[in-house]
Amino acid sequence: MQHFTMVEPGDLVDLSEIDPDFHEDLHKKDKVVKERTEAARDEMRALQERLYAEGKQSLLIVLQALDAGGKDGTIKHVMRGLNPAGVRVTGFKRPTPEELAHDFLWRIHAHTPARGQIAVFNRSHYEDVLVVRVHGLVRDSIWEQRYNQINEFEELLSESGTRILKLFLYISKDEQKERLQKRLDNPDKNWKFEPADLKERRLWDDYIEAFEAALTRCSTEAAPWHIIPANRKWYRNMIVAELVAATMRDMDPQFPSVDFDPESIVIE
């Protein structure tokens, strides 16, 4: 297996074929892990400054995972050190009555990144083909349409100058159990646990099926999905940081040229 799996358009995703514990035979305390992670973060910081200054492109990072999959931790550790003026994180919770009165993408579009900006989605428009599907919140015919609607929406963003990096943080069922238990055992983490998490856990197989469908049907040339082995948090952080850096490197933002000669200016 690679460091991550990029879903090629048309590929049929079977998550049972992917090892969420994959870690290149590395260990958390290996020097190379720290070096790779820090090098990626340094490159992200340098490229973000160019992206912000250029003001022509934007980056949208979409994070999806099963409960306790590590979305918050990824944001905390990978995005650390970026200029807050150029990054916005949006967490999508249960839709409000106002949001439900509009199409399902209405609340999403308002949070997509402006030129020069990076936006991070903690959950996203994919909830409308995940939790909505699993819980039968709308008719099957409605969520079935949404795969194509999502693809068209992301194509619009791409054609408008937004690069889309979609990351599925994949953990095992045993790892989820361990993480949920730690939230119960640590008083400082109790707030992160909800009894409803256990009801969702009983629907594990249904969620896996829903994720496989979303990864299969919504991995496009404009916005492919990447499946990240996420059982080991340190490995997840390293790979995500490297992916973000590689994406920004490929975007190749440039500092804008100026219409004056800096050497001719004297500040008295």
Residue 257 lies in a domain: no
Strands 225-229 and 162-170: parallel
When pLDDT is averaged across residues 157-165 and rounded to a whole number, the result is: 98
Tokens coding 163:
């690069």
Instruction: Give the chain's domain count.
Output: 1
> Residues 194-220, buried b or exposed e (16+ Cβ, 10 A)?
eeeeeebbeeeeebbebbebbbbbbbb
Q: How far apart are CA 13 and CA 209, in angstroms?
A: 10
Residue 167 lies in a domain: yes
Residue 259 lies in a domain: no
Residue 26 lies in a domain: yes
- For 246-260, the pLDDT digits (tens) are 999 999 999 999 899
List of E strands, the chain? 5-6, 58-65, 87-91, 118-122, 162-170, 225-229
155: domain CATH number is: 3.40.50.300
Domain enclosing residue 122, as ranges: 5-251
Q: How far apart are CA 228 and CA 236, in angstroms?
A: 7
In a 10 Å sphere around its CB, with 0-12 CB exposed, 13-18 middle and 19+ buried, how is residue 148 labelled?
exposed
- For 4-22, the pLDDT digits (tens) are 899 999 999 999 999 999 9
Q: What is the DSSP letter of 202?
A: T
Residue 63 lies in a domain: yes
**What is the predicted pLDDT for the residue at 1?**
43
Residue 39 lies in a domain: yes
Length of the chain: 268
Phi, psi (5° rounding) for residue 65? -165, 165
- For 54-66, the pLDDT digits (tens) are 999 999 999 999 9
**Mean pLDDT estimate for the chain:** 96
Residue 266 lies in a domain: no
What proportion of the chain, given as a percentage, has pLDDT over 90? 95
Residue 103 lies in a domain: yes
